[in-house]
Structure 1
Amino acid sequence: MSKILVVDDESDLEILIKQKFRQKIRQNEYEFVFALNGIQALEQLEQHRDIELVLSDINMPEMDGLTLLSKISENNSLLKSVIVSAYGDMENIRIAMNRGAFDFITKPVDFKDLEITIDRTIAHVQQIKHTLQALKENDILRMYVDETVLNFMGKKEVEMAIFDNETVDASVAFIDIVGFTKISENNSPDVVVNLLNDYFDVMVKEIINEKGIVDKFMGDCVMAVFKGSYHLDRAIDACLAIRDRIQELPARSKEGFKPKISIGINSGEMVSGNIGSCTLRRLDYTVIGDVVNVAARLQSAAATNQILISEENYERIKESFSCRKVGSIEMKNKKNPVVVYEVIS
């Protein structure tokens, strides 16, 4: 549902809006909030933080629409405004556009044109939100958090993205290239980096195919997070595919190396947020908690080309995957041994 604020001192416009868009209101596509002037509009924006679009007249008492535009641009660069006014002269249009208006519609209102404009503007807002989310989840934002980016994207929105944190139910996988340390000790930096990047690229493609997020690269290990529906199944599917793709890669005779992997997967509640130092401007959007620690220890315990999961996770996926009981292993900070299973196929 898209929430829209209509700002106009003509009270009959509220009745018209509700009549013309009654179907979309009933279908929960639109929700309208109303204000009679710019002052009331700012109050409504405080109360309804999820408003995505403002439709505003220009000539209103107490605070006019052009002043309201300036206030909105200062406080919320994600929020888009469309001017709906009888004052359709070029001077007013230019002032409105310079103050951040997304579009301009003249009265009397053509409601079909208004509907098209609303849909187009909301689609634009959603695209910006998706871009911000992608920046946050794909580890780009934390690499370029400087004043230029903050000014370009809007300080308030970027700060909200940076400091947002939550508890999520997700799956995490640690995928390690077995024995790669030997390569780094016996070859030139160019060979080491290029070879490692080639192997990582294979892994990343399979992680993305299952809608996973590459959380970080740690030496010769990849940490991946899977959220949303069937996240554990998708994590296992990705890891099985990675194991198959890595096994298909040829041996590197010059370096004397055949790539192999070991994998640990765990699932459950974990804390998701930006961890690091604000002073250094180095923040790592990541997941932390016991579930993540167990996944890392499962990877450490895994043999070559082995994918390990806990017994609890085995119970959740045993009807979908072929597994073999490995036994119990001791884990740091765990009072009792953890029963683990190997995912075969």
Structure 2
Amino acid sequence: MAKLLVVDDEADLEILIRQKFRKKIREGIYSFVFARDGNEALALLKEHDDIDVILTDINMPGMDGLTLLTKLPEANPVIKAVMVSAYGDMDNIRTAMNRGAFDFVFKPVNFDDLDTTIEKTLQHVAQLKSTLQAIKENNILKMYVDENVLNFMTHQEFEKSLLDNETVEGSVLFIDICGFTAITENAEADLVVKMLNNLFDVIVKEIINHRGHIDKFMGDAVMAVFKGDYHMDRAIEAALAAKERIAGIESVDLGGDAFKPRVSIGINSGEMISGNIGSVSLRRLDYTVIGDTVNVAQRLQGVAKPGQILVSQQVYEQVKQSFSLQEIGPVQLKNKAKPVSIYEVLA
């Protein structure tokens, strides 16, 4: 049985969750405990050491959800939190993700989507627990980490692996805001940052709506990863939706220059290495995907013109029955010995 802690000051949400998940509760698949704010949640975590996932609102009296995220590593470094909130602006999403949130679900809640998100999060927690147990039993890949995690383990030693390092199948999407770097030379910093965040907000919502995950922000570009059923279709649908939303934004005056937002997009699909990449000594690890699939997607975005969505021939062959595509022809991509055939996804 999976145990979930729901943290929300709205009593109606508890009623809805008990109603919507009554079958899984009755069958012993899910068990729920409820808290009204972050302080009550931390107290319950001490009483229930078997909680796997937290579903938490952002805006609550007492301790809010974003503050609660900062307390979780000390309370239980394995537990994962999903934000369930109506406050889906870019600042809150980025703050939540930077503080370790696993995913973000918007209110009003689509309970089918929430159920899918819960299952995905539980799978991640199960993999994490399994990995840690294997490391403990085999006494391999030992490393000392910060005090919060050490306090969680016996004798203040936490045997940590590279966690979910594995080869995965998925699609990767790069979306770049065209011409944005040029306008930063003359526009005021506040205007530039505000505009960029607003554009990211639009893009991120479409990626999340199509069950993608934000991997990272790279200057004025976004990298997203799609896994699971129909990951290629969802990546393309997210790209089309983001392109349409951005195209609908009016020109903006930035420091005397009129800026009309447009995006260029590259999508590729295939095997990728997924894991924690970074510096162990600095304790700065970024859970990401790497490999040729990722590199090609980024280079496709690099050759895409404003308003274009480019895909590889491999993607084309698998989605040509579902989408309208146009052959662009062979192009030379960096570090590729031979030209690569590429296709444009049409609106």
TM-score (norm 1): 0.60
2:181 aligns with 181
2:225 aligns with 225
1:150 aligns with 149
Choose the corresponding residue for 1:132, options 76, 80, 95: 80
Amino acid at match of 1:132: K
Distance 1:178 1:148 in 2: 44
1:252 aligns with 252
Choose the corresponding residue for 2:336, options 311, 330, 334: 334
- The Cα offsets for residues 229-283 of structure 1, whole Å up to 9 and x where unpaired, read as 1001000000000000000001013541000110000000000111111111211
* Compared CA separation, residues 149 and 326, structure 1 to 2 (3 A): farther
Distance 1:245 1:318 in 2: 24
Q: Is the 8 A contact 2:53 2:82 kept in 1?
A: no
Amino acid at match of 1:216: K
Q: Is the 8 A contact 2:278 2:284 kept in 1?
A: yes
2:20 aligns with none
2:209 aligns with 209
* Compared CA separation, residues 126 and 188, structure 1 to 2 (3 A): closer
Deviation at 1:139? 5.1
2:5 aligns with none
Q: Is the 8 A contact 1:171 1:225 kept in 2?
A: yes
Deviation at 1:153? 6.9
Deviation at 1:334? 1.7
Distance 2:192 2:174 in 1: 20
Amino acid at match of 1:150: V
Q: Is the 8 A contact 2:150 2:158 kept in 1?
A: no
* Compared CA separation, residues 157 and 219, structure 1 to 2 (3 A): farther
Q: Is the 8 A contact 2:263 2:308 kept in 1?
A: yes
- Is residue 2:301 matched to residue 1:299? yes
Distance 2:205 2:274 in 1: 23
Runs of at least 5 residues in structure 1 that lack an aligned partner in the other structure: 3-27, 31-52, 54-96, 103-120
Distance 2:151 2:188 in 1: 40
Q: In the TM superposition, what are the counterparts of 1:316-335 in structure 2 within 5 Å?
A: 316-335=318-337
Distance 1:217 1:157 in 2: 34
Amino acid at match of 1:219: G
Give the number of the structure whose alpha-carbon radius of gyration is greater: 1
Q: Secondary structure at the match of 1:195?
A: helix
- The Cα offsets for residues 155-207 of structure 1, whole Å up to 9 and x where unpaired, read as 99997586331111010011000000122111111111111000000000000
Q: Secondary structure at the match of 2:80?
A: helix
* Compared CA separation, residues 199 and 159, structure 1 to 2 (3 A): farther
* Compared CA separation, residues 139 and 295, structure 1 to 2 (3 A): farther
- Is residue 2:196 matched to residue 1:196? yes
Moved more, 148-157 or 194-203: 148-157
* Compared CA separation, residues 202 and 101, structure 1 to 2 (3 A): closer
Q: Is the 8 A contact 1:174 1:224 kept in 2?
A: yes
Deviation at 1:337? 1.0
1:287 aligns with 289
- The Cα offsets for residues 73-107 of structure 1, whole Å up to 9 and x where unpaired, read as xxxxxxxxxxxxxxxxxxxxxxxx9xx774xxxxx
Amino acid at match of 1:225: V
Distance 1:309 1:229 in 2: 19
- The Cα offsets for residues 273-301 of structure 1, whole Å up to 9 and x where unpaired, read as 11111111211111000000000000001
* Compared CA separation, residues 166 and 192, structure 1 to 2 (3 A): same
* Compared CA separation, residues 184 and 336, structure 1 to 2 (3 A): same
* Compared CA separation, residues 239 and 314, structure 1 to 2 (3 A): same
Distance 2:243 2:148 in 1: 38
Distance 2:268 2:246 in 1: 21
Q: Is the 8 A contact 2:170 2:232 kept in 1?
A: yes
Q: Is the 8 A contact 1:177 1:260 kept in 2?
A: yes
- The Cα offsets for residues 197-235 of structure 1, whole Å up to 9 and x where unpaired, read as 000000000000011111000000000011111001000
Distance 2:230 2:77 in 1: 24
Distance 1:321 1:202 in 2: 23
Distance 1:249 1:157 in 2: 52
Q: Is the 8 A contact 1:132 1:161 kept in 2?
A: no
Q: Is the 8 A contact 1:139 1:215 kept in 2?
A: no
Q: Is the 8 A contact 1:263 1:307 kept in 2?
A: yes
1:106 aligns with none
1:61 aligns with none
Distance 1:213 1:161 in 2: 23
Q: In the TM superposition, what are the counterparts of 1:39-50 in structure 2 within 5 Å?
A: none
Q: Is the 8 A contact 2:53 2:81 kept in 1?
A: no
- The Cα offsets for residues 17-67 of structure 1, whole Å up to 9 and x where unpaired, read as xxxxxxxxxxx979xxxxxxxxxxxxxxxxxxxxxx9xxxxxxxxxxxxxx
- The Cα offsets for residues 99-145 of structure 1, whole Å up to 9 and x where unpaired, read as x774xxxxxxxxxxxxxxxxxx97x335589952769x945449xxx
2:116 aligns with none
